[in-house]
A and B are shown apart, each in its own frame.
Chain A
Amino acid sequence: MTDLSTDDIALAGEYALGTLDHATRGTVAARIRRDAVFAAEVALWEARLDPLNDALAPVAPPAALWRGLEGRLFAESPRPSPWRWIAAAGALSTAMLAAVLWFGAPLATGPGPMWVSDMVSEDGSVRLAALYDEDRGEMRVSVGGEAAPEGRDFELWLIAGEAAPISLGVMPEAGQAAMPIPEDLRPLMLNATLAITDEPAGGAPGGIATGPVVALAALRRI
Chain B
Amino acid sequence: MSTQAADLADLLTRVALRDRSAFKALYEAASPKLFAICLSLLKDRREAEDALQEVFVKIWHGADRFAPDLASPAAWLNTVTRNHAIDRLRALRSGSYTLDAAEQIADPGPDPEATAITSSEGRRIEGCMEGLMPERAEAVRLAYVEGESYLELSERYSVPLNTMRSWLRRSLIQLRNCLSP
Which of B's residues lie within 8 Å of A, judged by CB? 10, 13-14, 16-22, 24, 27, 31-33, 35-37, 39-41, 49, 52-53, 56-57, 60, 64, 67, 70-72, 74-75, 78-79, 82, 86-87, 89-91, 93-105, 108, 124-126, 140-141, 143-145, 147-150, 153, 165, 168-169, 172-173, 175-176, 179
Query: Known interface pairs A7-B103, A43-B70, A208-B64. Does A24 touch B19 (Cβ–Cβ under 8 Å)?
Result: no
State whether the Cβ of A106 lies closer than 8 Å to any Cβ in chain B.
no
Chain A residues closer than 8 Å to B179, beta-carbon distance:
48
Q: CB distance A49 to B98 under 8 Å?
A: no
> Which DSSP category, helix, strand, loop or mixed, fits chain B's interface?
helix
Contact for B19 among A9, A16, A21, A81, CB less than 8 A: A81
Query: Known interface pairs A55-B145, A65-B52, A72-B53. Does A213 touch B18 (Cβ–Cβ under 8 Å)?
Result: yes
Q: CB distance A206 to B108 under 8 Å?
A: no
Q: CB distance B57 to A206 under 8 Å?
A: no
0/1 interface trace, chain A 42-56, chain B, CB 8 Å (1 if under): 010111111111011
In the assembled complex, the CB of B33 is this many whole angstroms from the nearest CB of chain A, namely 5
CA distance A68 to B93 in the complex (A): 27
Q: CB distance B41 to A18 under 8 Å?
A: yes
State whether the Cβ of A97 lies closer than 8 Å to any Cβ in chain B.
no
| Contacts A10-B173, A18-B82 supplied; 7 other A-B pairs, CB < 8 Å | A17-B143, A18-B143, A19-B148, A56-B36, A69-B27, A206-B64, A209-B16
Which of A's residues lie within 8 Å of B, judged by CB? 6-7, 9-11, 13-14, 16-25, 27-28, 43, 45-53, 55-62, 65-66, 68-69, 72-74, 81-84, 162, 164-165, 197, 204-206, 208-210, 212-213
In the assembled complex, the CB of A122 is this many whole angstroms from the nearest CB of chain B, namely 14
In the assembled complex, the CB of B24 is this many whole angstroms from the nearest CB of chain A, namely 8
In the assembled complex, the CB of A84 is this many whole angstroms from the nearest CB of chain B, namely 8
Query: Known interface pairs A66-B27, A206-B64. Does A74 touch B20 (Cβ–Cβ under 8 Å)?
Result: yes
Q: What are 15 residue pairs bridging A and B, where the CB atoms are less than 8 Å apart in the complex?
A: A9-B172, A17-B144, A18-B89, A22-B91, A25-B87, A49-B144, A52-B144, A66-B24, A68-B53, A69-B53, A74-B20, A81-B18, A197-B17, A208-B13, A212-B18
- Identity of the chain A residue whose Cβ is nearest the Cβ of B146 in the assembled complex: A18
